[in-house]
A and B are shown apart, each in its own frame.
Chain A
């Protein structure tokens, strides 16, 4: 049982991380629908970069219509992650008073970032396994940046995070309860209720609609 509980706790922690980095809007919930908390995709509005390609059958990206209450709109067109995109959003954060020092990207875009400095030699030497297993530190015009891969976020998003201005808040922390016994079988359930407490969304940045492969 302890083994199973430990495994399920890890599973739940992964779900929590995936939820925190998702594009989920808040919902108050009702008797048939569970309440939800706004997650990072639905929070970011001030320092964002997204694809705005328009045309027949194309949907341009858009920030949330109401921050937190609606999810952001994904563009139907994706673009490559570039140093220029990151610099632009970092500059925007800096102007707003934020100092993001982490860039969180999906595994594919971590390999893209690893070759950003324009070195042909780097492209040859970096394999995806090594890039995905490391945190790369860059010195940029706007301070040091720790670039880390995260496979629980959407590959099409990249987040510039100021850790001091976001945290996880628990309504109900991880807890275990025992369910009624059936014959000899013991059953327990594990529950957590949490949300992303965004103390200042303008301290962070988001680059959206990125290529995923």
Chain B
């Protein structure tokens, strides 16, 4: 029998816990984290499309917003060791396939 319980639901991230009781001596437990990334994709697209509206963007503070990465994807990158390796992380950010998460599209 499969039972499901929501452990946490904050923002667009949901954390669920599944217990599958195969038989009296065999339990299978899964922890699943899901995120609705549509708001993130909308946000990054809006920021990309509207950069021209703000002529002072990125100039005053020396900061440039590069990307918005959904938490579930970031966790996956962390597990792969990409977020700890500056070269790999930059390569991931520069990969055209990850353009939907980029805000500023220049090469890093």
Interface positions of A (Cβ within 8 A of B): 2-3, 6-7, 10, 83-84, 87, 101, 116-122, 125-130, 132-141, 143-144, 146, 148, 151, 163
Q: Are B69 and A137 closer than 8 Å at their CB atoms?
A: yes
**Cα–Cα distance between A144 and B89 once the two chains are bound (Å):** 10
Chain B contacts to A: CB under 8 angstroms? 3, 7, 10-13, 17, 19, 27, 29, 31, 35, 39-40, 43, 46-47, 50, 53-54, 56-58, 60-71, 74, 83-84, 86, 89-90, 93, 104, 108
Q: Given A3-B27, A133-B12, A144-B66, are A117 and B93 also a contact pair (CB < 8 Å)?
A: no
The residue that A133 contacts in the complex, of B17, B56, B71, B86, with Cβ under 8 A, is: B71
Given contacts A117-B61, A133-B70, 20 further A-B pairs with CB under 8 A are A3-B17, A7-B7, A84-B61, A117-B63, A118-B57, A118-B61, A121-B46, A125-B43, A125-B46, A127-B39, A130-B43, A133-B40, A134-B70, A135-B70, A135-B74, A137-B68, A138-B65, A140-B64, A146-B74, A163-B84
A136 partner, pick from B10, B29, B39, B67, beta carbons under 8 A = B67
Shortest distance between the CB of B40 and any CB in chain A (Å)? 6
Q: Is the CB of B65 within 8 A of A117?
A: yes
Whether B12 contacts A129 by the Cβ 8 Å rule is: yes
Do B50 and A121 touch across chains, with their CB atoms under 8 A apart? yes
**Nearest CB on A from B5, distance (A):** 8
* Cα A117 to Cα B3 with chains together (Å): 45
Are A138 and B66 interface neighbours, CB within 8 A? yes
